[in-house]
Homo-oligomer: A and B are copies of this chain.
Amino acid sequence: MDKGDERKKQLLQVALDVFIEKGYYGTSTREIARRAGVSSGLLFHYFNRKESIYLELVKIGVEEMRIDTEIAMEAPYEYLLQTVKHVFERLESNPSFGKMFVFMDAVQYTTVNEKEIELLLKSMDICRQWIPVILEGQRRGEFRAGNSHALCVAIFGAIQGIAQEKVRIPDTPLPETDWLMDLIVNRTR
């Protein structure tokens, strides 16, 4: 209902598109404003700096990527399977999810002078969140033995790469969930 909030949402949506397309530095505030059909002044009425737009998007992204460690530790295999399924389903059904996913990855390469962003990035580091879960899965014999960090990199790297391809070429066919799980699951037991 609030007109201001609607506009802000719209601006964030447009900004996400441009950031993904051109990167942080390649995105001009003028272009965000132009694509949204408003003046630069209005953009800076809602966001005090360019970095603030970026920061708000990162915050939204962090929220979307957070895992529930407690549940995950109870059933590592099941939780990972559901996570992969969930990501793939949303990649198919919701283009803006894919964009956010790719955006969140690009963030990690973007050097922006914001202490706040650095903090967010730490909280968002996928391996940091997942390694304990993978260790638990290995302890149970559900996941294959080996360097748990490397396992984490393998599966989430794969998901990341696939998501990127999907965003770049939307009719890219997604792999089966099982294939991805074969990266990490212990098939010898």
B-binding residues in A (CB < 8 A):
20-27, 105, 108-111, 144, 146-147, 149-151, 153-154, 156-165, 168, 172-176, 179-180, 182-184, 187
Contacts and interface: CB of A to CB of B under 8 A. Distances in A.
Contacts of A26: 23-26
Copies of this chain in the oligomer: 2
Most buried by B among A27, A162, A187: A162
Contacts of A108: 168
Contacts of A179: 144, 146, 150-151, 154, 183-184
Contacts of A153: 161-162, 165, 172-175
Contacts of A21: 109, 111
A177 B112 CA distance: 35
A173 B149 CA distance: 7
Contact of A160 (B156, B161, B180): B161
A26 to B, nearest CB: 2
26 contacts: A23-B23, A23-B24, A23-B26, A25-B25, A26-B26, A108-B168, A144-B179, A146-B176, A146-B179, A150-B173, A150-B175, A151-B175, A153-B161, A153-B162, A154-B179, A154-B180, A156-B161, A157-B158, A157-B160, A157-B162, A157-B163, A158-B161, A160-B160, A179-B183, A180-B183, A183-B183
